[in-house]
Structure 1
């Protein structure tokens, strides 16, 4: 029998739990790093994550839980990062370049490193010396909650090295998930960052009482905004109507499972940023991402009215009503 593929999953949240479930469908051995000692011990004893997607059974035969990240990385062929971008540096604290040497690193993170305004893939390459052809990105459209229910889902795996993308896609394909490879890693990663910002905008306007008609126009304009940015940052031919781009945007903008839409909805209803964060048990990547994109766009000067509206609401404390009224006249 073929030897199991050795994997490490870094992160203990809902998306990490969903990825462990998907990967466990194959011939694998997973070392799963969690920050929380009590959660790790609970998984060892009872075979489910007590904090996220608690109905998902964790196979004790295929999954070994760790709380020491360097131990979790030993002997793995693939390392999947599934920690919010704002906390990945802390999660990998103490990890050295040699710990990732020879491994393929896969980002399941839909955000940017806040202090440096870097894509996670660029940060991984610069910080740990992982070659670009051994780095990949997981894109949706796919919500962890539907993976837990084994609803039919689709993933896109992007890498500059199509062979690397194909290897990861094979690992993430199972009876309820179809995964396909592409080579537009920067387009996919920027779109993944942007769709969370747009979901915040959708949530804010929904919280203010805007209906489906406005949401449709908002998302249509958002797609144009995303196109302007990715064409400026990484100008290659791409079909933004594909599921890795448009599909991921739609599910994040409209789904009740979207934590970014939920966060935005709370802001639209009058919650402060701090109150909205306390209300939620999960991180909304878009909150950090909109500041990073705002700062990155100083270099490119792309017209991004929706992004700037969200930025002014969250970081300049502009009233959502005032900011949205100004945005309405810019949409077509």
Structure 2
């Protein structure tokens, strides 16, 4: 099965890294970049002026556009890599059919105001069949992919042939790929691991130490497993790189923006101050509220779901609970 013409939608660090990976195979891509001035500077400098500036491109291979409807109309495979807080705003601008497209998401967040992940929203709103929806997951810092460091990615799609075909344009000497049919599970896991990474960062700044960090990550994986089973009760290997691997790299690495955001909160930053100081968006801040609401909705339908880590991060970020007291309360639930 052929992917057809591929377009990348988004211009952040992960979008830039994936665009480089794909164009090395295809030697042509469409690329939606929101601001025309960014496109002009990109063409002049031959690199993204805002992210991964050391990553050079042959701009003759790129069909840039700031018109999302042009990109959707002219390309067959649409890879969305936009920050989750702006996803719905962008999709609201789409006026052309998407039903016949192969739509892939590398977004690690939920659709604002919808409390659902990208593929579920696109399926419902644009009528894209489930077999034409896919996601990319796994432990994958954009900075390391740009440096061609060995990275393992998982392409989730219920259509195995499509998953394999798209995997082929990612695979290289430094990108290893495999496929999965757990599309929704991979997407929600990518949201939850950011929440848990924020908690890990908070605990690091509060000097809870490595011993507790290990316990926190272990408990977070159990919590994630329970949450995913409540949302989509299928068998999945939680030790797989797309679940455990992504959780570990996000919850331990200083390259993780969510871990960094959490560390700032733990040092006493307000949410607004931490967001203002960071150059990139910590998706977990937005994901925390959405997953908290989803958990409440599941419980309202008599689903037994225990989410102490998620609840604690929500209290700290949205109810302004004292971070040290909230973490200690989480570790001493009966006290």
TM-score after normalising by structure 1: 0.95
Given that residues 157 and 179 in structure 1 are in contact (C-alpha distance below 8 angstroms), is that contact kept between their aligned partners in structure 2? Answer: yes
- How many angstroms apart in 2 are the aligned matches of 1:318 and 1:239? 35
Report the Cα offset of residue 298 of structure 1. 1.4
Report the Cα offset of residue 267 of structure 1. 0.4
Unmatched 5+ residue regions in structure 1? none
Residue matched to 2:302: none
Residue matched to 2:326: 323
After the TM superposition, which residues 1-332 of structure 1 pair with which residues of structure 2 at under 5 Å, given as runs?
Answer: 5-98=4-97, 100-301=98-299, 302-330=305-333
Q: Secondary structure at the match of 1:26?
A: helix
Moved more, 181-190 or 11-20: 181-190
Report the Cα offset of residue 148 of structure 1. 1.1
- How many angstroms apart in 1 are the aligned matches of 2:172 and 2:222? 34
Change (3 A) 1:233 1:4: closer
- How many angstroms apart in 1 are the aligned matches of 2:96 and 2:328? 49
Q: Secondary structure at the match of 1:25?
A: helix
Q: Secondary structure at the match of 1:216?
A: helix
- How many angstroms apart in 1 are the aligned matches of 2:288 and 2:151? 27
- How many angstroms apart in 1 are the aligned matches of 2:79 and 2:185? 20
- How many angstroms apart in 1 are the aligned matches of 2:233 and 2:285? 26
TM-score after normalising by structure 2: 0.95
Q: Deviations over 1:205-226 (max 9, x none)?
A: 1111221111100000000000
Q: Deviations over 1:176-196 (max 9, x none)?
A: 111111111121111111100
- How many angstroms apart in 2 are the aligned matches of 1:12 and 1:217? 36
Given that residues 48 and 55 in structure 1 are in contact (C-alpha distance below 8 angstroms), is that contact kept between their aligned partners in structure 2? Answer: yes
Change (3 A) 1:125 1:4: closer
Given that residues 305 and 330 in structure 1 are in contact (C-alpha distance below 8 angstroms), is that contact kept between their aligned partners in structure 2? Answer: no
Unmatched 5+ residue regions in structure 2? 300-304
> How many residue pairs were aligned?
328
RMSD: 1.5
Q: Secondary structure at the match of 1:278?
A: helix
Q: Secondary structure at the match of 2:325?
A: helix
Change (3 A) 1:95 1:4: closer
Moved more, 269-278 or 107-116: 107-116
- How many angstroms apart in 1 are the aligned matches of 2:100 and 2:43? 29
Q: Secondary structure at the match of 1:50?
A: coil
Change (3 A) 1:322 1:4: closer
- How many angstroms apart in 2 are the aligned matches of 1:158 and 1:97? 25
Report the Cα offset of residue 252 of structure 1. 0.6
Report the Cα offset of residue 59 of structure 1. 2.0
Report the Cα offset of residue 4 of structure 1. 9.2
Q: Deviations over 1:162-189 (max 9, x none)?
A: 2221122111112211111111112111
Given that residues 3 and 76 in structure 2 are in contact (C-alpha distance below 8 angstroms), is that contact kept between their aligned partners in structure 1? Answer: no
Given that residues 4 and 27 in structure 1 are in contact (C-alpha distance below 8 angstroms), is that contact kept between their aligned partners in structure 2? Answer: no
Given that residues 266 and 276 in structure 1 are in contact (C-alpha distance below 8 angstroms), is that contact kept between their aligned partners in structure 2? Answer: yes
Q: Deviations over 1:146-169 (max 9, x none)?
A: 011111111000012222211221
Change (3 A) 1:199 1:324: same
Q: Deviations over 1:280-309 (max 9, x none)?
A: 111111101111111111132310000000
Given that residues 11 and 32 in structure 2 are in contact (C-alpha distance below 8 angstroms), is that contact kept between their aligned partners in structure 1? Answer: yes
Change (3 A) 1:114 1:89: closer
Moved over 4 A (4+): none
Given that residues 88 and 112 in structure 2 are in contact (C-alpha distance below 8 angstroms), is that contact kept between their aligned partners in structure 1? Answer: no
